[in-house]
Structure 1
């Protein structure tokens, strides 16, 4: 992750098509020469320069190398799959999708415009949900692209998560909420930690007081309330990363967690838990074909952090809250006065396809 500069380019930059054409002309190369140098077809290169298509995750390194640019952030693959933008570029914050995690995969990306009903819901034959999803992804060529995106983000296969991401995989969580919850949490925790580590690298290279809005790429800088943007500095990111790590230590048993003890003990931990599940379920949808309804993973968050939904209260803060409230930034790392204690003895209901669909992408055969 790097500070913004004129020489750094990302595949989802608004002017990337014009920039690529200008760079090719600067190099004195024809479209044919440039496409050969980048390892793509002439038509594909023309599509890049016209803005008709964006550089796929598996082609980004070779195309950027041909242009003589430093490689794009690995998070550009994530953004390509989830439809989010890099950087902040201003104070406007997109409203969050409120219906389901499935909405996070755009219909345009999946090629499903003709497969939506009047309520913008995906229409799939209930008798063969997995087959329908596979057919849609396969016919659009997206199945291979999602697998490539997963490789770019260094994600293991769905069945390998308990061992490959053991630092975040919790058998206790699997028993309480189910395997999907435990694996999505582990994947989200891995990506969350990696993202914040890159934020720290970027902030560490800049003067003290630099905030996340001044970085080229940041994940939590786009998910936390814009109200406090200039407060998201190195020390804040360091503490948020530690908050997420503490959640993992408690859930995996590395740190003792008794049946009468809370998991979430501060607003920072509530925000981290919410973002970890959001990230894990979104990327699970984008890279593993694990479609988890937003209502489902938010129920998981509520089960662990309480029905008062502390994270959502902070995320949707529009005005400055009272100075002594947990939602105020100055209190995010302060212990909750009365933290919620989950029902650690609860048993997850049998797994079903009603709330998630797993499509084996047939990759990561190690």
Structure 2
């Protein structure tokens, strides 16, 4: 499914350019903060379309709490019904946690796949052992746990890509989306995070927010806890024996009642 965009307009382009200048940032600095290339940032300032999944990066670069409001007609409509035919739509998530959960995984896995492929394409041209922290621009690097940055090499990303593809296949065929490993927990969490901006910007999607099953906390309901935040995003040092240490991310460690 094609990535959705905010149609280009000169008002938004001026807002982006003006804010960058107000902060004293060069195009190179702003694009690096946003996790995009300089050519892409230049297109933003020229008034060209912006992919919705890139809005969070632009907000990060320009210290915006929310993306600037503009004419609603500039937003390409995203239909929940359209996403129900998506190859990663999960009937299990929809029936158990609501349409928002299924939407978040389908859309988020698209976005995350793009980020993984972009970083793989850059790493393949670098010496063996190179990691995300060495890339000039990497969206993933800022979203993955900081302690293990030097382990995020080509092999890791390729395994991450394959695991995500396996989860998308499970979603398509209606299998339970139970996470058996830290890697799968992490991918579910990141998919929800990546899709959050797309969902928040779209009124049609937000209509199902009135549904009691539409909580954006569905990930933690599915996992049964918030250990992934407690251990991986809480600035705690983990030794090699800890189950959430990088060395154990692909171990099949977890089991829930949903597997019965």
Q: Aligned pair 1:339/2:255, yes or no? A: yes
- The superposition leaves residues 112-158 of structure 1 with CA deviations (integer Å, 9 ceiling, x where unpaired) of xxxxxxxxxxxxxxxxxxxxxxxxx4xxx25345x2xxx6xxx9544
User: In structure 2, how many angstroms separate the alpha carbons of the residues matched to 1:168 and 1:191?
Assistant: 12
1:130-141 paired onto structure 2 within 5 Å: 137=69, 141=70
Corresponding residue number in structure 1 for 2:241? 324
User: In structure 2, how many angstroms separate the alpha carbons of the residues matched to 1:276 and 1:50?
Assistant: 29
- The superposition leaves residues 55-108 of structure 1 with CA deviations (integer Å, 9 ceiling, x where unpaired) of 9xx99438669xxxxxx999654522xx2249xxxxxxxxxxxxxxxxx9825x
Q: Aligned pair 1:285/2:255, yes or no? A: no
Equivalent pair of 1:247/1:264 in contact (CA under 8 Å): no
Is the partner of 1:304 in helix, strand or coil? helix
Corresponding residue number in structure 2 for 1:160? 82
TM-superposed deviation, 1:327: 1.1
- Structure 2 residue corresponding to 1:304, chosen from 222, 239, 249: 222
Corresponding residue number in structure 2 for 1:222? 142
TM-superposed deviation, 1:283: 2.3
TM-superposed deviation, 1:329: 0.9
Gap runs ≥5 in structure 2? 1-8, 28-39
Residues 73/279 of structure 1: CA separation in 2 closer, same or farther (3 Å cut): closer
Equivalent pair of 1:105/1:285 in contact (CA under 8 Å): no
Q: Aligned pair 1:106/2:68, yes or no? A: no
1:6-17 paired onto structure 2 within 5 Å: none
Residues 326/160 of structure 1: CA separation in 2 closer, same or farther (3 Å cut): same
User: In structure 2, how many angstroms separate the alpha carbons of the residues matched to 1:44 and 1:270?
Assistant: 40
What is the count of residue pairs matched by the alignment?
Answer: 230
User: In structure 1, how many angstroms separate the alpha carbons of the residues matched to 2:135 and 2:187?
Assistant: 20
* Bigger Rg over Cα: 1
1:112-261 paired onto structure 2 within 5 Å: 137=69, 141=70, 143-145=72-74, 147=75, 157-163=79-85, 166-253=86-173, 257=175
Is the partner of 2:188 in helix, strand or coil? helix
**TM (normalized to structure 2)?**
0.71
TM-superposed deviation, 1:217: 2.7
The alignment yields a C-alpha RMSD, in angstroms, of: 4.0
Gap runs ≥5 in structure 1? 1-38, 66-71, 87-103, 111-136, 345-366
Is the partner of 1:84 in helix, strand or coil? helix
- The superposition leaves residues 33-71 of structure 1 with CA deviations (integer Å, 9 ceiling, x where unpaired) of xxxxxx969x949x649825999xx99438669xxxxxx
Is the partner of 2:258 in helix, strand or coil? coil
User: In structure 1, how many angstroms separate the alpha carbons of the residues matched to 2:116 and 2:159?
Assistant: 10
User: In structure 1, how many angstroms separate the alpha carbons of the residues matched to 2:111 and 2:61?
Assistant: 17
TM-superposed deviation, 1:198: 1.0
Residues 222/44 of structure 1: CA separation in 2 closer, same or farther (3 Å cut): closer
* Divergent runs of 4+, >4 A: 47-50, 52-55, 62-65, 72-78, 287-293
Corresponding residue number in structure 1 for 2:37? none
Residues 231/176 of structure 1: CA separation in 2 closer, same or farther (3 Å cut): same
Structure having the larger proportion of residues in helix? 2
